[in-house]
Amino acid sequence: MSSESPSPRVQLTDDEWRQKLTPEEFAVLRRAGTEPPFTGEYTDTKTEGIYQCRACGAELFRSSEKFESHCGWPSFFDPARSDAVILRPDHSMGMTRTEVLCASCHSHLGHVFAGEGYPTPTDLRYCINSISLRLVPTRS
């Protein structure tokens, strides 16, 4: 996971993003919004596959790293690749958190939290908005 912010590989203007995304997707992906808890399409799914960035299609997470945290959003303990996401400090909402961005287009995905005691290999919880993702099921 990179904490540096090189220029995104996919660069569009706000108008181009608005044409590509629904208003709800734009609000989360491009304006760092959050979907309401327990409403996202992938919160409870157990479908095996690859989770891509809904904005640019980059591979971000895999179902093998998804776990049930009961927090209201899909949770993953690791990204698909170490360079798939960018982490940066987020001082909004009167607290300090770590924001998770797509490394390819710098769209907002959610936040990552450490040390919460979940029984995962990394002790991390990538709390990701469903609306930021698109699941591509793997064929059996």
Q: What angle do CA 106, 108, 109 make, to 5 degrees?
A: 115
CATH topology of domain 14-137: 2.170.150
Per-domain residue ranges of the chain:
14-137
Mean pLDDT per 10-residue interval, the chain, length 140 residues: 66 94 97 95 95 97 96 96 94 90 97 95 97 90
Q: In this structure, what token pair is assigned to residue 97?
A: 């958190």
For residue 4, the model assigns a pLDDT of 52
Q: Tell me the sheet residues that pair with 99.
A: 88, 111
Active site residue 127: yes
Q: What is the dihedral of CA 68, 74, 80, 82, to 10 degrees?
A: -100
Catalytic residue among 53, 56, 105, 127: 127
Alpha carbon distance 33, 30 (integer Å)? 8
Length of the chain: 140
First vs last Cα of the chain: how many Å apart?
Answer: 30
Burial class (CB in 10 A: 0-12, 13-18, 19+), 129: buried
Please give the DSSP secondary-structure letter assigned to residue 41: T
For residue 140, the model assigns a pLDDT of 58
For residue 11, the model assigns a pLDDT of 85
Half-sphere exposure of 127 (CA within 13 A, CB side): 19
